[in-house]
Amino acid sequence: MTLVAGVDSSTQSTKVEVRDLATGRVVGSGTAPHPTVTPPVSEQDPASWWSAFESAYGSALAEVGASRTGVAAVDAISVGGQQHGMVALDRDDQPVHPAKLWNDTESAPDAGWLIGQFGGGPAGRAAWAAATGLVPVAAFTVTKLSWLHRTHPEAWARVARILLPHDFLTYKLTGRFVTDRGDASGTGYWSPTTGAYLDDVLALIDRDRDWSSVLPTVLGPFEAAGTFAGATVGPGTGDNMAAALGVGLTTGDAVVSAGTSGTAYAVCATPTVDPSGAVAGFADATGQFLPLVCTLNAAKVIDAVARLLGVDHDEFDRLALAADPASTPILLPYFDGERTPDRPGATGMIAGLRTDVTRERLARAAVDGVACGLVDALDALRAHAPVHGRIVLVGGLARSVAFRRVFAGLVDVPIVVSDAEQAVATGAAVQAAAVLEQVDAATIQQRWGLGGGTPIEEGLDPGDLRERYAELRDLADGA
């Protein structure tokens, strides 16, 4: 039996799936946590990712051993990692500073400064979008490089390598400093249109540095990065690009991922340019493009309110479904700042509280707020991408009956809950298989039967929910 492994290295944990190449059947899995982070400062030691990988991979192989007697290895492996993080290494390949993660917002001032270097205002934003597919916000790696250069000059002077989280794990597997086009497109200094690093952007941060020796080589979609314990290692990619592979995303459909954070994305044949910055014009892992809208707040908001109510997820769902929507408050879910819209210093807001407020109404307000935020993201995506088919729902909140029904009531196209339990790890395994066999990802997806899902038959009547949410959102935007 030929085996491939997919790795999901997220903000919260590392997950590993080992699959049978012929059928896609999962024959082993493992997970291990990462250190907890809370924005605005969101940093981790990259070594913790490798430790988590070793633990999760070991658990997966232990399960494999029961069905593959005498063999404790896989034939190919790829890594899907959290996007945008900054891993700055010295000449001994040690971090000069803890890795800045995508949801760290300390570099918000640098985002504004970078836009100003391209002229500022709408013209500067348009110039950034045309050059990079992105308009700088605190999430993107380019702002974090500027932050490190500005605030820690002694650490900056020791920088020899700049990697993304998935690049770091691929380096630990193979000893090579490489990346892929999908993850590179989220840095803000690589162009999805030209497929090259942007010297003029990098010079804004440090014009005296030889960037050619600092940045990883960008591999092609089917190009091997090297080997690990005899296994072929794929180029890896960003978590959203891997998830697109894992759910079998096709042109016309869109994914809405409701995990710790939220995303809405689709596959396109051409690059996306959005001068507003709401839609990030990423590349995907196959040679196409992946326009994406990201919100910082999704399941974490539900978790926070459930904690305040002292209930588990099942009881939280029951409470939310039992609420009278006509008397439910409106919650703006910007608990840890927000990326779309770009309000890194924002906090959550709630309106419409009365003395008859109940636990049920608070639970429903949290679900309504998160659902409205993700529908706003979907609307922004639709303005720039050919979304005319299904919405594929993934992430932890896809398991919530209350969230599914509220979200379905707000969306006017069919929605399915993806069959992929671990979309990122599955997508990384798809890439590993495609590299091993030198075939396109669609061949593997079809063989493994990816792309299925369970339809959501009935949504809840939204009433005037979106209008009331928009009033609170606009009030916050004007504050």
Q: Evaluate whether 181 touches 221 at the Cβ level (below 8 Å).
A: yes
**Residues 6 or more apart in contact with residue 277 via CB below 8 angstroms:** 125, 128, 129, 134, 135, 136, 137, 342
Question: Sign of torsion, CA 15 18 24 26?
Answer: negative
Cα–Cα distance measured from residue 208 to residue 258, given in angstroms and rounded to the nearest whole number? 42
DSSP character string of 246-299: HTT--TT-EEEEESSSEEEEE-BSS----TTSSSEEEE-SSSSEEEEEEES-SH
Residue 373, helix vs strand vs coil = helix
200 in catalytic set: no
Nearest to 142 by CA among 201, 191, 182: 201
Cα–Cα distance measured from residue 398 to residue 417, given in angstroms and rounded to the nearest whole number? 7
Cα–Cα distance measured from residue 406 to residue 111, given in angstroms and rounded to the nearest whole number? 34
Cα–Cα distance measured from residue 274 to residue 122, given in angstroms and rounded to the nearest whole number? 11
Cα–Cα distance measured from residue 399 to residue 392, given in angstroms and rounded to the nearest whole number? 13
Among the listed residues 20, 104, 239, 317, the single catalytic one is 239
Q: Evaluate whether 255 touches 244 at the Cβ level (below 8 Å).
A: yes
Q: Measuring CA to CA, how many Å separate 394 from each of 305, 348, 411, 454?
A: 21, 24, 15, 11
Token digits for 121?
């205002």
Q: Evaluate whether 19 touches 90 at the Cβ level (below 8 Å).
A: no
In one letter, which amino acid is 62?
A: A
| In the block, residue with structure tokens 């999760």 | 56
Catalytic residues: 239
